[in-house]
Amino acid sequence: MSLVPFVFQNSKSGKKEPFQPKDPANVTIYSCGPTVYNFAHIGNIRSFLFVDVLRRSLLLGGYKLNQSMNITDIDDKIINESIKQKMSIEDFTKPWTEAFFKDLETVHVQKLEHYPKATESIDAMVGLVETLQSNGLVYEKDGNLYFSIQKFSRYGELSKIDVSGMKSGVRYDADEYTKDDVRDFVLWKNQKTEEEKCWHTSIGTGRPGWHLECSAMIRKVYGSGVDIHTGGIDLLFPHHENEAAQSLGAYPKEEFVGTWLHCEHLLVDGEKMSKSKGNFYTLRDILEKGYDPNAIRYHLISAHYRSKLNFSLGKLEESKTALERIQNTIYRVLETGSLWDQVPKKYDPIEFSVPELQKLNLEFMDSLADDLNVPKALASVFELVRIVNQFLDSKNSSTSGSFLKESLFLFYQINQLFAVFQFEKQVQSLEGISEEWILDQINQRKTAKQNKDFSTADKIRKELEEKGILLADTKEGITTWKKAQ
Ligand code: AMP
Ligand code: ZN
């Protein structure tokens, strides 16, 4: 299969550039992942779905991928929370890491090739600090090791931050940063209290600063830099600037990242999400209101990744309706053409013979290849829906065989990106299931949730869903059920 040429808006140059991976059969992509200390909110989920759109688009374009997302399982927040709850870091982060993977599965995010954890990459981090030390970029203060940004002339290249006003030796050692505040950042923190998690290493007894892990893990997984590095826009400065400083400071002759991609934030009702404003949603909050994961996925990916997405339950409803419109057309094609047994088992590109479909197929792919323009790709999907419905309404039979089969295939191909459409007959019957059994399942789920065993609770919800039973949790803690429509 020939490769589709992509262009990306590279944050490094601030311009759209042709994508030129070193090896299209092994495209290396690294994405900053979650800090595992609570449930991901829907803004986080948006940024993970952006990574999925990138992955699925490149796969459709014929590339082979070698992708990583890190799990930050050590930082200030994790340490503080685990101490508060008298738990080890491992025991504290385990259920949150599982919840993260569960959330990704719920919104059909494809599995990546690697999920390196910070706590399992300490050796690589220590090695990187030693390389930076021998390159003269590190100094020590009160047992902490800092990166001296004034000794690194390329500091600020990525985020275009102005370092000229920076006073020498101004340091920052917290894992949460004030934006635009240019300071030397901590590479390695010494242990401050007995209960704080630490590692005994050649650079001291302590733990890594937050930025260090990504540079070290990229090196550990790939032995070099990467073709693409992604993250939310809030990570551009200082996190990514600091990552670049560490990696280029250690290996000045190598390219660290070919293309930097940054995903814009999600707002709720026009505002930044915050718990105090009551506009803070986790994925689970929205599922518990009875919304379908497919509608959530469709909604969160349908805006361009570089636009702010203004989330509201009303807009989610609109997405649900749009999704149903496409789905109904797919069912119509399957039913009218008796094509239920002709749905491909796996995706393999075909040559389209019907000119309108050929054109829409090209337009769809061109839109994705143009910096992942999903809204434009969706316009082609709705044009497909329009012409297919027109065709079905007119009962034009002369080319019906190939038209319907190829439009089914085109929908199937489009679903390689969206991953929300069904191609099987829906089973609606609750035959053989008693209400008593359903209530027993609901009780078991409640107990699992009380025990913080979220994976069992989610498994029960999913099993019920597969049988056509939807659960809704009220604010008062009562769970109700209904038959899926
Ligand atoms: P964290 O778990 O806080 O480290 O964040 C994980 C990812 O979510 C990072 O790439 C963040 O940039 C991204 N992120 C955080 N808040 C939002 C938001 N409101 N909208 C979109 N992405 C976000
Ligand atoms: Zn990172």
> Is residue 235 in contact with ligand 1, taking CB distance under 6 Å?
yes
Ligand 1 pocket test, candidate residues 29, 44, 263, most atoms within 8 A of CB:
44
> Is residue 34 in contact with ligand 1, taking CB distance under 6 Å?
yes
Task: Determine the distance separating the centroid of ligand 1 and the alpha carbon of 296, expressed in angstroms.
Answer: 17
Task: Determine the distance separating the centroid of ligand 2 and the alpha carbon of 65, expressed in angstroms.
Answer: 19
pLDDT computed for residue 429 by the predictor: 58
pTM of the model: 0.87
Task: Determine the distance separating the centroid of ligand 1 and the alpha carbon of 175, expressed in angstroms.
Answer: 15
> Is residue 44 in contact with ligand 1, taking CB distance under 6 Å?
yes
- CB 393: neighbour CB atoms within 10 A? 9
> Is residue 265 in contact with ligand 1, taking CB distance under 6 Å?
yes
Q: Which residue has its alpha carbon closest to ligand 1 atom 19?
A: 43
Query: Do 33 and 115 contact (CB within 8 A), yes or no?
Result: yes
Q: Which residue has its alpha carbon closest to ligand 1 atom 8?
A: 44
Task: Determine the distance separating the centroid of ligand 2 and the alpha carbon of 214, expressed in angstroms.
Answer: 5
Contacts of 314 (CB under 8 A, 6+ apart): none
* Helix runs in 198-292, H state only: 212-222, 241-250, 283-288
Structural domains of the chain, ranges and CATH numbers in brackets: 7-263 (3.40.50.620), 318-418 (1.20.120), 435-483 (no CATH)
Task: Determine the distance separating the centroid of ligand 2 and the alpha carbon of 32, expressed in angstroms.
Answer: 4
pLDDT tens for each residue of the chain, 485 residues long: 689 999 999 999 999 999 999 999 999 999 999 999 999 999 999 999 999 999 999 999 999 999 999 999 999 899 999 999 999 999 999 999 999 999 999 999 999 999 999 999 999 999 999 999 999 999 999 999 999 999 999 999 999 988 887 766 678 777 776 666 788 999 999 998 888 899 999 999 999 999 999 999 999 999 999 999 999 999 999 999 999 999 999 999 999 999 999 999 999 988 888 777 778 899 999 999 999 999 999 999 999 999 999 999 999 999 999 999 999 999 999 988 899 999 999 999 999 999 999 999 999 999 999 999 999 999 999 999 999 999 988 866 555 679 999 999 999 999 999 999 999 986 555 677 777 788 889 989 999 998 999 999 999 998 888 888 888 887 667 787 877 76
Ligand 1 pocket test, candidate residues 42, 230, 234, most atoms within 8 A of CB:
234
- Between strands 171-172 and 184-190, the pairing is parallel
> Is residue 159 in contact with ligand 1, taking CB distance under 6 Å?
no
pLDDT computed for residue 436 by the predictor: 75
Q: Which residue has its alpha carbon closest to ligand 1 atom 2?
A: 34
Which CA distances in Å does 304 have to 4, 262, 321, 421, 436? Answer: 20, 11, 19, 20, 46
pLDDT computed for residue 472 by the predictor: 82
Task: Determine the distance separating the centroid of ligand 1 and the alpha carbon of 48, expressed in angstroms.
Answer: 8
Ligand 1 pocket test, candidate residues 42, 47, 179, most atoms within 8 A of CB:
47
H-helix or E-strand spanning residue 259: strand 257-263
Burial zone of 168 (CB within 10 Å; 0-12 exposed, 13-18 middle, 19+ buried): exposed
pLDDT computed for residue 390 by the predictor: 93
- CB 223: neighbour CB atoms within 10 A? 8
> Is residue 31 in contact with ligand 1, taking CB distance under 6 Å?
no
Taking the CA of 264 as reference, the closest ligand is: 1
Task: Determine the distance separating the centroid of ligand 1 and the alpha carbon of 304, expressed in angstroms.
Answer: 16
Q: Which residue has its alpha carbon closest to ligand 1 atom 15?
A: 44
Q: Which residue has its alpha carbon closest to ligand 1 atom 7?
A: 44
Q: Which residue has its alpha carbon closest to ligand 1 atom 6?
A: 34
Query: Do 368 and 316 contact (CB within 8 A), yes or no?
Result: no
pLDDT computed for residue 163 by the predictor: 84
In ligand 1, the atom with minimum distance to the C-alpha of 33 is: 6
Task: Determine the distance separating the centroid of ligand 2 and the alpha carbon of 252, expressed in angstroms.
Answer: 19
pLDDT computed for residue 396 by the predictor: 61
Q: Which residue has the tokens 């994790």?
A: 78
Cis peptide before 5 (omega within 30 of 0): no
C-alpha 300/C-alpha 309 separation (Å) is 8
Task: Determine the distance separating the centroid of ligand 2 and the alpha carbon of 321, expressed in angstroms.
Answer: 36
